[in-house]
């Protein structure tokens, strides 16, 4: 690697901002980043304008960490601009990687969302029925807002992506490991997920006995045994279908994995993989000998979409609700 400092960029698109905080959560290791690279674009922390980025030579940014899905026109523009300016583009976090929580909006379109938010919510008072417009003329001139799209897209559905750093948000250790690989010039082949080739279950310290379950519980309905597999206690845990690298932190705090690490290696459809894993353990053998009704067990999953596709709907085979 050249002794000259690298140039990094960070951008926040359709996401909650947790990925920005995760960068700071690296604590003293943020000093390693500063020693390694100059941050030339980070709107949340620096006063840098889009025109400054537009003026940069193409490929002058060594690495851009892009977090957030692409929800509107402005985010699409920045994705394409930063792709031109960066040598390496990293989809940083679940939203850029798979669509994340914003991607659940793909069950609706723009009109349905605007109707709900600006016209029909219980707390909204909007007798004139005003909804956001892309442009509006005022005495001082024309105001403009980015177009709000019908469909939330992952970063790689808009531009070519070099690497993926999953997590909601990525753990500080995972971020530090990625930065270290960049510093050493030891990045894996393009298109790789910067994470281990194992599932969350492989990192989970809880005991697994491969028992079947006869009831599904929501997290507030049961106090789980601290050393026993949550899935075997009837709590839906996406550990079997989720890539590891998080050290099973949620499970260690007695909360089930919700799938933010994305699909396991060689699995393309995280939601379907978890549905299959759950189906394989539903129902005790003795119940099957009676008039066992699996439909009752399935109905205990109160929010199938939010459970199995919480972070991955835009990147899944389903992608969005079909609009006719």
Rounded Cα–Cα distance for residues 142 and 136 (Å): 6
Sheet with 86-92, strands from edge to edge, namely 37-41, 6-12, 61-67, 86-92, 163-165
Number of other CB atoms surrounding residue 68 within 10 Å: 27
d(CA 276, CA 238): 11
Which residues, at least 6 apart from 7, have a Cβ–Cβ distance to it below 8 Å? 37, 38, 39, 40, 60, 61, 62, 63
How far, in Å, CA of 198 to CA of 187, rounded?
18
Please give the CATH architecture assigned to the domain spanning 6-101+152-184: 3-Layer(aba) Sandwich (3.40)
Give the residue from 298, 272, 280 showing the smallest Cα distance to 212: 280
Name 123's Cβ contacts closer than 8 Å, sequence gap at least 6: none
- In order, the DSSP letters of 300-315 are T-S-HHHHHSTTTTTT
DSSP 199-218: BHHHH--SB-----BS--B-
Tell the burial category of 75 from Cβ atoms under 10 Å away from its Cβ (0-12, 13-18, 19+): buried
| Residue limits of CATH 3.40.50.700 in the chain | 6-101+152-184
Identify the three-state secondary structure at position 298: helix
With residues binned 3-state (H G I as helix, E B as strand, rest as coil), the percentages for the chain, rounded to 5, are: 35, 20, 45
Terminal-to-terminal C-alpha distance of the chain: 53
Query: Among 39, 149, 153, which residue's Cα sits nearest to residue 91?
Result: 153
The Cα–Cα gap between 24 and 175 comes to: 10
Per-residue pLDDT of the chain (324 residues; tens, 9 = 90+): 446 899 999 999 999 999 999 988 888 878 878 888 999 999 999 999 999 999 999 999 999 999 999 999 999 999 999 999 999 999 999 999 999 999 999 999 999 999 999 999 999 999 999 999 999 999 999 999 999 999 999 999 999 999 999 999 999 999 999 998 998 889 999 999 999 999 999 999 999 987 888 889 999 999 999 999 999 999 999 999 999 999 999 999 999 999 999 999 988 899 999 999 998 888 765 555 566 677 787 889 999 999 999 999 999 999 999 877
User: What are residue 11's DSSP bridge partners?
Assistant: 66
Could you tell me how far CA 10 lies from the centroid of its own chain?
16
**Smallest Cα–Cα separation from 272: which of 231, 241, 314, 298?**
241
**Would you say how long the chain is, in residues?**
324
Tell me if residue 156 falls in helix, strand or coil. helix
Q: What are phi and psi of 112, to 5 degrees?
A: -65, -40
Write down the pTM of the prediction: 0.92
């Amino acid at each position: 690697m050249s002794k000259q400092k690298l140039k990094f960029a960070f951008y926040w698109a359709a996401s909650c901002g947790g990925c920005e905080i995760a960068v700071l959560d690296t604590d003293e290791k943020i000093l390693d980043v500063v020693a390694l690279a100059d941050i030339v674009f980070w709107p949340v922390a620096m006063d840098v304008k889009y025109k400054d980025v537009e003026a940069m030579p193409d490929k002058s940014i060594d690495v851009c960490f892009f977090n957030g899905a692409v929800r509107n026109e402005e985010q699409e523009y920045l994705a394409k601009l930063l792709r031109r300016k960066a040598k390496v583009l990293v989809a940083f976090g679940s939203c850029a990687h798979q669509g994340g929580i914003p991607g659940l909006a793909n069950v609706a379109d723009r009109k349905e969302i605007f109707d709900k938010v600006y016209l029909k919510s219980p707390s909204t008072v909007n007798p004139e029925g005003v909804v956001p417009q892309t442009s509006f003329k005022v005495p001082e001139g024309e105001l403009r807002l980015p177009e709000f799209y019908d469909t939330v897209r992952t970063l790689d559905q808009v531009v070519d992506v070099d690497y993926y750093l999953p997590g909601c948000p990525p753990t500080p250790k995972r971020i530090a490991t990625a930065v270290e690989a960049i510093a050493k010039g030891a990045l894996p082949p393009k298109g790789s997920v910067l994470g281990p080739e194992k599932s969350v279950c492989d990192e989970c310290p809880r005991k697994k006995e491969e028992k079947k379950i006869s009831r599904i519980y929501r997290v507030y309905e049961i106090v789980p045994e601290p050393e026993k597999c949550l899935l075997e206690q009837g709590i839906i845990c996406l550990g079997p279908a989720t890539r590891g690298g998080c050290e099973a932190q949620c499970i260690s705090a007695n909360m089930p994995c919700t799938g933010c690490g994305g699909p396991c290696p060689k699995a393309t459809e995280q939601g379907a993989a978890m549905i299959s894993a759950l189906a394989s353990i539903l129902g005790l053998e003795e119940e099957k000998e009676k008039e066992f009704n699996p439909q009752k067990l399935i109905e205990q999953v109160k929010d199938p979409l939010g459970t199995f596709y919480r972070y991955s709907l835009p990147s899944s085979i389903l992608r969005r609700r079909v609009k006719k």
